[in-house]
Chains A and B, each alone.
Chain A
Amino acid sequence: GAVVSQHPSWVICKSGTSVKIECRSLDFQATTMFWYRQFPKQSLMLMATSNEGSKATYEQGVEKDKFLINHASLTLSTLTVTSAHPEDSSFYICSARDLGSNQPQHFGDGTRLSIL
């Protein structure tokens, strides 16, 4: 079945560092990918929609200059958390949908980001 891979799975870094997270669709092409954030014991909240070859669209309240999204190919989207601070610590999850099937979107295994 369709698989979405996310890397890294876990990252710890100092405050002020920029961190890049990759999301790859392994066996299908995805013109659109989605980035979610999940705080402990809470639900997933959509941050932005990543569009291949064009600008991402951000949900209300999400700073586009803080969370840079690049979708340069049909199988890769990246999320860069710029100048990360402790409040950015969270579980970031991407998803993608195989338009060649009638299945709902598949999720990556998430990236645990801890900012010290």
Chain B
Amino acid sequence: GQQLNQSPQSMFIQEGEDVSMNCTSSSIFNTWLWYKQDPGEGPVLLIALYKAGELTSNGRLTAQFGITRKDSFLNISASIPSDVGIYFCAGPVGTSYGKLTFGQGTILTVHP
């Protein structure tokens, strides 16, 4: 099946540092999504990528859709305490855009 391998599993950084996490798959994806989940809440969409090679920014966040369509990365620059949470990559299952498969998640801790 289509599985996403996300790394690292967790990160402990100082406020102000930059962060990078990535997602890979053995299958080709036509869309890559990055979500953030705060404790006790549902995931919130950060960035959506639709084209191979696409580089998209959302404030301090930047994500890229790999040219092979089998990987994506998310960068966070100048981290702040509210960046704490779990970050997930996700992609559509098969041809159904609605059904998503998620990576294992990256737990980010930011020390003030």
Contact = CB atoms under 8 A, between A and B. Distances in A.
A4 B43 CA distance: 11
Interface in A74-111: 91, 93, 95, 97, 103-110
Interface stretch (B13-21, B56-64, B69-77, B93-101): B93-101
B66 interface: no
A104 B48 contact: yes
Contacts of A108: 42
Nearest to A38: B37
Classify the secondary structure of A's interface with B.
Answer: strand
Interface residues of B, number: 23
Given A34-B98, A103-B48, A46 B41 contact: no
Contacts of A107: 35, 42-44
A46 B99 contact: yes
A43 B104 CA distance: 5
Contacts, number: 55
A41 B102 CA distance: 13
A25 interface: no
Contact of B100 (A41, A46, A112): A46
A109 B105 CA distance: 17
A32 B35 CA distance: 20
B108 interface: no
Interface residues of A, number: 24
B40 A49 contact: no
Given A95-B100, A108-B42, 15 more contacts: A32-B98, A44-B100, A44-B102, A45-B102, A49-B98, A91-B40, A93-B42, A93-B43, A103-B48, A104-B45, A104-B97, A105-B98, A105-B100, A107-B43, A109-B40
Interface of A: 4, 6, 32, 34, 41-46, 49, 91, 93, 95, 97, 103-110, 112
Interface of B: 31, 33, 35, 40-45, 48, 88, 93, 96-105, 107
